[in-house]
Structure 1
Amino acid sequence: MPSALPLFRRSVLESWRGLLGWAIGLTAVALLYLPLFPTFGGANSQFAELMDNLPPALVKTLGYEDIVSGAGYTQSTYFGLMAFVLVTIAAVTWGAAAIAGAEESGSLELTLAHGVSRTRQVVEAALSLLVRVVALVLLAVLLVLALNGPSELGLAASNVVAAGAALAGLGLLAGTTSLAVGAATGRNTWATAGGALVAVAGYAFNAVANQAPDVEWLRVLSPYAWAWNGTPLKDGWDLPGLAALWGASLLLAALAGWALERRDLRS
């Protein structure tokens, strides 16, 4: 009897070294940044005075408005910066390799020649991407929870989980963009560029929107804003933002299946 989800199982098993590498990176930055909070925290700290002396526009662009609180510091340095970068790069790499990378290496044609449908190829690739992204983010959440007390962050556990859901949705959106572009073009470079563009443009749009009320509408176009404008570490679950992130990821996965079904792989 054939094993269930063989493509998913092979993808996850073959990428364990890369997953381990990303996990080590997430752990390293958590251990580097979060224990430093007692040095910066508190409204009367010297760091708070430094923030008061910086131009308000610069502080808003960097997302440092609330950096002297545990939630603001963790968001600014970890969830919204280093963990965002690492999870996004990992997701884009995996998403691009799933279809476009497999096609360029010749393994996609071989898999399809064994009777695997194109839709199944995309479904199992998307599931593999989801599991790996969630695994990384789960580690990030556990690290923050473990360092919460020793680092005096004062975070509510449910809010940390809410921030993890936002981070996973943000990374998954970039990854499924790469998956969809790869399915449509068959080019690993284009797939990588597509996912990276979503992440970079989302971050840039949110930063520009922080500059003036006239451009606040850019947040509507920014997945980064969908994830973090609800301030989950401080205020808890932001269901509209999560729905936008996860819904867009599901739509992109469906578009990947549609694109691969209709493309001539011989060209």
Structure 2
Amino acid sequence: MGSALPLLRRDLAESRWGLVGWASGLAVFAGLYLPLFPTFGGRDSQLAELIRSLPPALVKTLGYEDIVSGAGYAQSTFFGLMAFALTAFAAVSWGSAAIAGAEESGRLELTLAHGVSRARHVLESALSVLVRVAGLALVAVLLVLALDGPSQLGLAPAHVAAAGVSLAGLAVLTGAASLAAGAATGRSRWATSAGAIIAFGGYGTNAVANQSPDLDWLHALSPYAWAWRGAPLEAGWDVPGLLALWGTGAVLVGAAVWLLDRRDLRP
């Protein structure tokens, strides 16, 4: 364990093919959805007519208010839907395996027996999740930039980058929740549940908040809203939303350090 960042290096080596699989999933969905925009996009398109025929509450729930623009279409079909789901699932699986999975398998005790502190294990595990999530977010950004011209989306590269950072922040927060729950309980089922609640509970809370102005306050409770309510693909960098995502993720990692340091390990 004398080499620099041994846990990070091990995690990246062991998960490289899984990372390729997640990235391939992003490529598949980007290739399926984005090139369809020239067929469906535009204010006078069939899609626009369909959206106008739907109940306004349903349109707001689905986040389809601006789906007929290039930015709205890429947000609704890719960044805010499939890319979000894939990166969230990946982050939850990595965060759950890092502490809870390692503890259940006995690997955590073996690692600590080799002179790695609990705090170091948590921090390197969090860094491992961050690096892999950043890799997926970068793939998503590059895919959208590559398909922007052929798909006639008309996106600004800086805005695509902003959306990538929001996507990464949301996934990192999700993974950090799994990491903290794993540190608190040592059980994968609880770690996975915590990450899923953050990701998909946040999605549901955002959908409910979109129903009525009276429920607008719920947006403040939804990490999904922190990431996307500022419409980074259209408006660019949403600093308050990014601070909420990345700041809460950092707090959860700090909580994981504290929780693991104060708990007896169990097989």
- Per the normalisation by structure 1, the TM-score is 0.99
Contact 2:126 2:253 (8 Å CA) reproduced: yes
Q: Which position in structure 2 is the counterpart of 1:227?
A: 227
Contact 2:183 2:257 (8 Å CA) reproduced: yes
Distance of 1:2 and 1:20 partners within structure 2:
28
Distance of 1:258 and 1:157 partners within structure 2:
40
Deviations 1:177-207 (A, max 9, x none): 0000001100011000000011111001110
Q: Which position in structure 2 is the counterpart of 1:150?
A: 150
Contact 2:95 2:176 (8 Å CA) reproduced: yes
- Give the letter for the 2:47 counterpart: F
- Which 4+ runs in 1 deviate beyond 3 A? none
Q: How far off its partner does 1:2 sit? A: 2.7
Q: Which position in structure 2 is the counterpart of 1:15?
A: 15
- Give the letter for the 2:222 counterpart: S
Unmatched 5+ residue regions in structure 2?
Answer: none
Distance of 1:235 and 1:265 partners within structure 2:
47
Q: Which segment drifts farther, 64-73 or 209-218?
A: 209-218
Q: How far off its partner does 1:44 sit? A: 0.9
Distance of 2:266 and 2:231 partners within structure 1:
47
Q: Are positions 1:38 and 2:38 aligned together?
A: yes
Deviations 1:144-189 (A, max 9, x none): 0000000000000000000000000000101000000001100011
Q: How far off its partner does 1:41 sit? A: 0.8
Distance of 1:249 and 1:134 partners within structure 2:
14
Q: Which position in structure 1 is the counterpart of 2:135?
A: 135
Q: How far off its partner does 1:255 sit? A: 0.4
Q: Which position in structure 1 is the counterpart of 2:263?
A: 263
Q: Secondary structure at the match of 2:121?
A: helix
Q: Are positions 1:193 and 2:193 aligned together?
A: yes
- Give the letter for the 1:186 counterpart: G
Q: How far off its partner does 1:266 sit? A: 4.2
Q: Which position in structure 1 is the counterpart of 2:27?
A: 27
Distance of 1:266 and 1:202 partners within structure 2:
31
Q: Which position in structure 2 is the counterpart of 1:164?
A: 164
Report matched runs for 1:47-62 at 5 Å. 47-62=47-62
Deviations 1:128-158 (A, max 9, x none): 0000000001000000000000000000000
Q: Which position in structure 2 is the counterpart of 1:68?
A: 68
Distance of 2:149 and 2:266 partners within structure 1:
57
Distance of 1:53 and 1:68 partners within structure 2:
14
Deviations 1:34-76 (A, max 9, x none): 0000011111111111111111111110000000000000000
Q: Which position in structure 2 is the counterpart of 1:121?
A: 121
Distance of 1:244 and 1:52 partners within structure 2:
34
Contact 2:186 2:266 (8 Å CA) reproduced: no
Identity score, percent = 69
Distance of 1:11 and 1:116 partners within structure 2:
15
Contact 2:148 2:154 (8 Å CA) reproduced: yes
Q: Are positions 1:98 and 2:71 aligned together?
A: no
Distance of 2:73 and 2:194 partners within structure 1:
30
Q: Which position in structure 1 is the counterpart of 2:108?
A: 108
Distance of 2:112 and 2:48 partners within structure 1:
59
Q: Secondary structure at the match of 2:7?
A: helix
